[in-house]
Structure 1
Amino acid sequence: MEVSTIRVVAWVLANIFRNKNLTLTPEQLKESIATLKVLVNYRDEEVNVDALWALSYLSEQGDEEIEGVLREDLLPVIVRHLGSDRSQMIVPALRASGNIVSGNDLQTEAALAAGVLPLYKQLLRNTRRNIRKETAWALSNVTAGTRGQIQQVVDEDLLLDLVIDQGCITFFNNLIFVRYQAHHAETGITLIRVNVGMLLLRLRIVKMEYRQDFIRAEGGTRTTYKRKRTWALSNLTSGGTPSQIEALVAAGGVEALVTVLGVFETSVVTVALEGLDNILAVSMEVSVPTVSGTGPTRFKKEYFAMVLKQLCGKGIKGLCIIVCRGGCGYAECGDKQAIVQKIAEAGGKEKLEILQRNTDETVSNKAKGLLEMHFDNKRDNSDESDNESQEDALDN
């Protein structure tokens, strides 16, 4: 058969399966998937792309269709195309794999066993926003799964990549401080804390794609991308263990969720509020043992090692020799006050005060509840009253 004819067949199938109301008998489903298996392995890229799109549309139909794809052993082919260097091949493969991980727990586990997570990690760093968006969506389905599946996301060090656009500068500032001794003529030796994130940016140590991520953390990203990543983070706070939530906090998850509070899409803000509420709820229920540092801050050695590993993987090998003499700290899952402080330092309290007057009742109630439960508004108001009384007394 002519290649041109095969291309037409693949294109037609892709358009047929694009119909969301399509109903197939078990036999038709089996034959369709068998045909797609031939097409996705065909020696023509155009045919492969259309066959992958057809698989993505088909797997979107439901668990039965996903099971058919798995039975025909098409998952390894989909995963192979995830590693392609051509975006027209990556996007449909990414959509198909995302549909599979959105299936039941066994189907999600099959995709994880096939090795999607390391590829998702690479794709979160892709220069194309739509690829990063689709990857974040796929990961949101994984973090909505079992705790074992969430743990695989944590073990793959994917949390840092999930938050890096929104919270990377704060992440570097909170997790790694370069401290050095500077002699001052009058005060003697002074400890100076350097803003590592901005230092790397200004010295152009970070690779170009990561420098762009730093800039996006300041300027924000499109709401669709934020929405997908916010779901991934919030899902983890809903179904994860305290240690998994602690890993998210260590990766800058609190700052990333606070950043989302400033967008105008109600559904995204609601999900971010739920994520923060879940983190704070866990912080009140558990107490996590810590390793004391030599200075006023405390840190866990394993997380400091994780950070260095992440930095080394990004080509910033010079930072791997940093020694934090004063201790490198982050807010722990069992330290409610530290979490509250992180929210406040990221501008979260001000955003919550604005959101409590939001016209959407769900958003306003959630914001008001967080303020009343975790931020001492009454004390702030009494302090203001005391200040006003003192000013009146001085005027008199």
Structure 2
Amino acid sequence: MSLFPWRLPRRPSGQVVAGLDLGADAAWLVVLAGSAEQAQAVSFAQALTLPDGLVQGALVLDPVSLGQWLKTLLLEQGLTPHGLCLSVDDAWLTRQQVAMSAQLSSRDLAFQLAAELEITHATDPAQVCWTYNAVAAAAPNPSAAQVTYDLGFLAQEPVLRLKELAKAAGLRAWVVEPRTDASERVLRAQIHPSHAFLSALPGPAAVACGLCLAAWAETGLNFLPHRRWARQRRQRAWMQHLGGVVALGAVLTLGGVAWLEAMVHAHQQQLLVGPRVRERLAAAQSAQQELRAALQRAKAQGEWLNAQHLQQQHTVQWHDALRQASHKLWVSHLRQDQARWVVQGEALSATQVQQWTTQLAALPVWQRAPEVHQLQFVRSASAGGGWVWQFRIDAELKGVR
């Protein structure tokens, strides 16, 4: 066990990744090894003869049995990958390209893309697996720039089966992406000098190889919640680092206070009472007070951090409530000034506004629950110019100073 548990673990010097391609005609397994920055060598590449009844075309029928069979195969070959990358058939997907403003935050972008999915395809985002990937940016002016995103979705069942397969194999599922994305990634990698070792791979193994490379490239449509995993890793790292700094500061402060008190006591016992002794004692007491003040500041900083963490949780909750708003209701402006929280927008009916206000009021984040302060039936300022209900909702948040 480490003597300093708050310290972050070292970044691994290398990683080994397995790619399993379950194509309609054949199954291939490729294992690549490399540094933390890029793949460097092929450890294993072979076409698989799967037991009967485990797969039907590209669909996994028995993920647990297939995962156990794969685990046995890897042990026999002496392979210990850190993760498993898997593919889904492109025929199962629905894809489109959507242009969004480059000024959107990650949460606002996800909210807008989910609304696009619901409006364009009449699909509930919570009932399918969907993801997106930036394709290209347009417009040279950053303030007016748009980014084109590749948006894709499919049923949850195939992805859940692949995750069960990885779990039964004792591996962490890193990537679940379309076969075409993996194939295109190999084509791009083969022209780079650092990937010259890929030329020795047989052609049918290209998709499995491309799946492995996704662990380093982090591009394409990954239907696993990789963005949430990355955000959680950053939050844990930040909290661990900050906790370590605060704890170390508190230990040093307490140690300094104890040492200074011992020194003051020793001087009081050893030195004669006189002007010079009183001056030294006063200086020591002043230093002691400064250390105590530093300790109080450290405690105050800790309380502030807890308040900020609570506020962050509240922000995530009302962000999620915005995401769950009806597609018949559009938010145009959102403003937070200290505790005051104001949202403005347009809706097709006043009932939608009242229902959404009731959903917001149910959140445990308000000092004063949301109220509709403006609701009028006017012509919309958008290009369509239809008649809509414009609204403004005001509220006060808890714990904001």
TM class, shorter-length:
under 0.3
What is the TM-score of this pair, normalised by structure 2?
0.22
Greater fraction of residues in strand: 2
Greater fraction of residues in helix: 1
| Rg larger for | 2
Higher relative contact order structure (alpha carbons within 8 Å, sequence separation ≥ 6): 2
